Chain A
Amino acid sequence: MNLAIQPERPKPNSASKAKAIIETRDFSFAYGPTQALFDISMDIHKKEVTALIGPSGCGKSTFLRCFNRMNDLIDNTRILSGQIKISGIDIYKRDVDVIELRKHVGMVFQKSNPFPKSIYDNIAYGLRIQGIKRKSELDEVVERCLRGAALWDEVKDRLGDSALGMSGGQQQRLCIARALAVKPKIILMDEPCSALDPVATAKVEELIHGLKTDYTIVIVTHNMQQAARLSDRTAFFYLGKLIEYGPTEQIFMNPENPKTEAYVSGRFG
């Protein structure tokens, strides 16, 4: 099968724009001399789970990190063209407060990274930095977030214990709970289950499925079954280009592009 890149650029239609919380237009991005993303245009819908899939090096994690400007932390990164708007605001405009942006766009990483503190303090940390000191208020948020992350019943009697003593799956759900504490609108997840066993993965997937009632979730995953199970929409990336984007049912049952078909059916490469 010929996998040469064709100049395809799926364009979001007006109906999808109405529900879009993230609008990306002709977005191109480079690490130094190496262009990583080419003219990406796609809308991400409110209160849905959107999966970004594709082989290693296709640009999906780079694209994810553009949504909360995590790439700003890497030297020599450049936006070559285009824009990303979140809730109608161009997030790369000079006057955008990046700290404020990251409150609205939380992130969960591949490897769980709890602070070496108690379970309670992991959730309360971000709030204390924001100046919230009142214990009753912190207690309320800690409980809300742990409940939101389906963790409360498992840890309510040991909130003072170190988060590092939790299982891998619990640590990842704690990181999700921590992300919820600052009330984000969007949660970005970069391979959140890749280090977890199937049971812990199932729990995190159940959590993500429940969270979309209140949050918009964008997830990068190498696990195609996970993308199929979990997401409402799926975007397939290859060599920095968006090859196909649509309802997950369409991408996995009847993709339009032969490259997508080859990738989701495991015939790629």
Chain B
Amino acid sequence: MQRYFHDELQELRNKLTLLGEKSNDAARLSVESLLEGDLEMVDRVLALDDAIDELEKEIGHACMRYISLRSPVSTDARLILVALKASHDFERVGDEAHTIARKARDILIREGRLSEPLKFKEMSRLSSNLLNDAITCFVEEDIEKAEAVIKMDQEIDALNKHHYEILTAETMQKQLSDASRFDAVLISKSIERIGDHAKNLAKEVIYLLKGN
């Protein structure tokens, strides 16, 4: 029996999806700003952070309200728990995007555009696709896709390791300042963390659907 308050769960799902998309946009644009040397884009990414934080708060309030007024159990209770955890993951993605944008600005001001053989574009494409797939498996309740997301995260981890090796190599020390190499390592780490958050969401979707 569909109850009048069950619509609130759909609203919660919609808000969570929106938050996921916003944070994914912020992450993608933050790397793009670095690759394109676009300082205006950096500012746009930094401005997105407040909206992401606000949406996470709204979701937290909606969850608290649903728990207090609707006494959810079973799937509904798991959805509330997943919404709380996933919204935190998305908010952290937003924070990583914010970090990337700040570091991108520092590198751009210091070095101009990066010309070194770093694989940020590929890494960003992978993490963005992964996050997008994780959101899709939540919306479509697709366990197989969620399991695939968990496995795909390894490719991003490998690229992060590759960046670390390149940026600490002796040849690179002559081409980029210490500060920029350090910032580039942090950017790579942030993208890798975005992949981790996508993986977390996929695990949460599996919990939501299977109950364990």
Contacts and interface: CB of A to CB of B under 8 A. Distances in A.
Contacts, number: 28
Interface stretch (A7-15, A66-74, A116-124, A248-256): A248-256
Contact of A228 (B1, B4, B69): B69
A199 B3 CA distance: 11
Given A249-B65, A253-B64, A253-B65, A209 B71 contact: no
B115 interface: no
B208 to A, nearest CB: 23
A161 interface: no
A132 interface: no
Contacts of A199: 1
Contacts of A203: 1
A32 B71 CA distance: 41
A229 B70 contact: yes
Interface residues of B, number: 10
B63 to A, nearest CB: 11
Nearest to B5: A229
A154 interface: no
Interface in A101-142: none
Interface in A214-251: 225, 228-229, 248-249
Nearest to A226: B71
A228 B3 contact: no
Contacts of B71: 225, 228-229
A184 to B, nearest CB: 22
B84 to A, nearest CB: 15
Nearest to B1: A202
B3 A206 contact: yes
Contacts of B4: 206, 209
Interface in B1-34: 1, 3-5
B107 to A, nearest CB: 46
Interface in B155-212: none
Interface string B67-102: 011110000000000000000000000000000000
A115 B69 CA distance: 36
A248 B65 CA distance: 10
A229 B5 CA distance: 8
A221 to B, nearest CB: 14
A150 B71 CA distance: 25
Contact of A252 (B1, B5, B69): B69
A229 B1 contact: no
A248 B70 CA distance: 12
B44 to A, nearest CB: 36
A228 B70 contact: yes
A208 to B, nearest CB: 10
Contacts of A206: 1, 3-4
A261 to B, nearest CB: 12
Contacts of A205: 3
Nearest to B70: A229
A252 B68 contact: yes
Contacts of B64: 253
Interface in A124-178: none
A44 B68 CA distance: 23
A198 to B, nearest CB: 10
Contacts of A225: 71
B74 to A, nearest CB: 14
A253 B68 contact: yes
Contacts of B69: 228-229, 248-249, 252-253
Contacts of A228: 68-71
11 contacts: A199-B1, A202-B3, A205-B3, A209-B4, A228-B69, A228-B71, A229-B71, A248-B69, A249-B65, A253-B64, A253-B68
Interface of A: 199, 202-203, 205-206, 209, 225, 228-229, 248-249, 252-253
Given A203-B1, A249-B69, 8 more contacts: A202-B3, A205-B3, A206-B4, A209-B4, A228-B68, A252-B69, A253-B64, A253-B68
Closest 10 A/B residue pairs (Cβ) = A228-B69, A252-B68, A253-B68, A225-B71, A209-B4, A202-B1, A252-B69, A229-B70, A229-B69, A206-B4
